[in-house]
Amino acid sequence: MLQEKVRDALRTVIDPEMGIDVVELGLVYGIEVAPDNAVAVRMTMTSPACPLGEFLRESAECAIRDAVPEAPAVDVALVFEPPWTSDRISETARRQLGWPEA
């Protein structure tokens, strides 16, 4: 399924500050695949003031383009509603960070 290929591609995008991929950090809010295979991703940052926002957005877009060549278009949009909270971090990422489980 194309949506899973996109999610796998996003798992290669690592937040340099945390050392964990954007999927496990809960930064990916949505993945949509149109009938023509165009991909649209909604993702956020841990803070609207994150200096790495554009870097991570571009990295996500490149990762998807590389992993999903059948997508004629890829759009990764940064959104800040709803605001990200640490509740979105996966249990795997929590363990990697040494945080208690939710």
Beta strand 20-21 pairing with 14-15: antiparallel
Q: Output the pTM of the full model.
A: 0.94
Question: Tens of pLDDT along the chain (102 residues)?
Answer: 899 999 999 999 999 999 999 999 999 999 999 999 999 999 999 999 999 999 999 999 999 999 999 999 999 999 999 999 999 999 999 999 998 876
Query: Which CATH number fits the domain 2-93, given the four candidates 3.40.50.1370, 2.60.40.1180, 3.30.300.130, 3.65.10.10?
Result: 3.30.300.130
Residue-level pLDDT at 11: 98
Give domain limits for the chain: 2-93
